Amino acid sequence: MADVQLLSCALRGAPLNWPHADAEGLRLYEAARRHGVHLLLAGRLAHDETSEACPQSLRDRLRSSLRNQIVVDEITWRELRAVLAALHDRNVYSLVLKGAALAFTHYPDPTLRPRADTDLLVEETQQHAACEILEQLGYRRMPLTSGELVTYQVFAHALRWDDLLASSERIPRLGGTACGLGAVHALTLACVHRVAHHAHEERLIWIYDIHLLAERLTDNECERFIDLVTASKLTAVCAQGLARAADLFQGAGAIRVLADLRTHRPTTVEPSASFTAAKMRKLDVLVSDLRALGGWPSRLRLLREHIFPPRAYMRAAYGTTTDGWLPLLYVWRFVRGAAVWCRQRSA
């Protein structure tokens, strides 16, 4: 927690007491990498008048990370532009999501926003065409479980494609046709993403995204944001994300949006509010999904998709080329997964 406070102080430009010992500097570097803000810290180092107090070992690690990221980004962005152009040429509309978009729209330099991958959103009816194009470009599917209901159902319909496309914004530096989410939807997604897929860990870079988005929000966009999250029953989730941003980075934007949002407290408990709990098991998430689905046919289908993922996924996940072992592998997956699903994880 002390590292989080120190890093948040560094990112918001507060006076920083750099660690003196190499061991302390190494610990801070590892914490910064774990939270995805080591490149931002390197940028702060380059412009901080107190940087002379920074241990040489920490200074070298940060500068090396920044140089490496510049090289990686040159390759990554060139590839992403080619992918977006190929999709557009085949009339497949796509939206760049999360860090890949925010790097160009909200960060002073896109290199300062690290990413493990690039998230693209396409309309459901164009999913098959998009996959074909990616495969033609040399991409291959990862061994991930599939199914229409396996993602978190509480958030499944919070953001609709037509609305996202209508309010999307251009990202010129990714090509003439590249688009990302508009400010209102981008902030909503940042708050949802923080809890929906990563309840086991909170990374500082996700909170910083929320901070930057809230700082740019206009009065009109603030009103639309509140209307959206209220109608989508996401006020608790968004209020928690904004509260964390306001606490760690003390931005006027997050404080203002949070104050307005708190005047629209729901009269009933929102289904998504369970994701703000201090501790949550995968089993709790499943229960939430089952409650969100209307009717037992959909609920039984969700259970089947979790317990019996496609054979192609099982073969890839367990490294077998035949179906003979699949019955035993399904049993092993269920037995091994039972303990994981009942284990608590901190939000």
In sequence order, the 6+-apart residues with CB closer than 8 A to the CB of 185 are: 159, 163, 164, 167, 228
Q: What is the pLDDT along the chain (347 residues), one digit of tens a residue?
A: 678 888 998 888 887 777 777 788 888 899 999 999 999 999 888 776 566 777 888 888 999 999 999 999 999 999 999 999 999 999 999 999 999 999 999 999 999 999 888 999 999 899 999 999 999 999 988 766 555 545 555 676 778 999 999 999 999 999 888 999 999 999 999 999 988 765 556 899 999 999 999 999 999 999 999 999 999 999 999 999 999 999 999 999 999 999 999 998 887 888 888 788 766 677 666 766 767 677 778 778 777 777 778 787 788 778 887 788 788 888 877 777 766 666 655 44
Other CB atoms within a 10 A radius of the CB of residue 219 amount to: 9
pTM assigned to the model: 0.84
Q: How many helices (H) and strands (E) does the chain have?
A: 16, 6
Question: From CA 194, how far away is CA 132, in angstroms rounded?
Answer: 30
Cα–Cα distance, 31 to 36 (Å, whole number): 9
Angle at CA of residue 67, ends 62 and 72, nearest 5°: 120
Output phi, psi for 281, to 5 deg: -95, 160
Q: Which amino acid is at 161?
A: W
Residue 96 identity? V
Tell me the C-alpha distance between 177 and 162, whole Å.
17
Spell out the residues 6+ positions from residue 295 whose beta carbon is closer than 8 angstroms to its own: none
Q: Which residue is listed with tokens 């259970």?
A: 303
6 within 8 A of 25, measured Cβ to Cβ: no
Contact by Cβ (8 Å): 10, 41? yes
Question: Tokens standing for 80?
Answer: 């992403």
Q: Which two tokens stand for residue 242?
A: 């904004």
